[in-house]
Amino acid sequence: MQRTAPRLTRILACAAVPVMLVVAGCSSDSGDSGSGATGSKDKASASASATPSPSATTKKVEPAKFAKLPEACKAITAKETGALVPKAKNKNGTPAPSTDPASRGGCSWNGLDDKGVKGSQYRWLDVSFYRYDSDAALGSGQERAQENFAKELAKIEQTPGAKQPVTKSVSGVGDEAKTVAYQLRKTDEDFVYGSVVARTGNVLVLLSYNGAGYAGAETPSAKNVMDGALTAAKEAVAAVAAANK
């Protein structure tokens, strides 16, 4: 009876306080075992909510549009390469070495068209392809191609010795494209350059076409050179889509 009276007094006192306080301080006579179990559950719940789920930490990126690259030396038709480089040393083109053909490739044509007493015309055509995969840490293939588009364009614009480079945006060549026209003095001749940087999906196409007149032959016009570069670039871009059908 001596223990019952104090216990009854405490129960009555608890009944008079708010419910939230009853839960905190008026559980039972069994010590802290009940409140300890509740605290462990609360800590576990807090820990679980603080730890992000795998889906929350995994960055989703857009899938790469193209999985393949075209065969570089066949990306531009023989008819076009024959018109741009009439006396190419290798009419089939010279492939650029690549340790990863699925991600990069290139081809070039060059030759000297001897006009006899009228001099000679030299031409060089070069095309390169770069494909970017989507990566959770680096971004989508399209985003990576866009970033490198700007970098490759800047490299061309900063060509050592280039005279008055002019950059222009053009339409109808992939998703985005820019041209860079300039002249460069080498081998005691003025070479005229027409360069194109184009992006189609997650693939970059870099094309350069240039020429010079030797032994008194006229220097090719900037317009003719750029027109040839754009025609070849359009074929190269189309070849990317064709390779992924």
**pLDDT number for residue 45:** 46
* CA–CA dist 81, 8 (Å, integer): 104
- Give the residue-averaged pLDDT of 59-75: 94
DSSP per-residue codes, 192-229: EEEEEEEEETTEEEEEEEEEEEETTPPPPPHHHHHHHH
Give pLDDT, residue 164: 87
- Phi/psi of residue 108, nearest 5 degrees: -140, 155
Q: CA-CA distance, 190 to 187, in Å (whole number)?
A: 8
Q: Which two tokens stand for residue 109?
A: 């044509």
User: Model-level pTM?
Assistant: 0.76
Query: How many Å apart are CA 40 and CA 214, to the nearest integer?
Result: 88
Residues of the chain with CATH 3.40.1000: 72-243
Q: Considering only the top CATH level, what class is 72-243? A: alpha beta
pLDDT of residue 6: 47
Separation of alpha carbons 143 and 203, rounded Å: 10
State the average pLDDT over residues 125-140.
97
Highest-confidence segment of 47-51, 113-117, 143-147: 143-147
What is the pLDDT of the chain when averaged over all its residues? 84
- pLDDT tier at 117, thresholds 50, 70, 90: confident
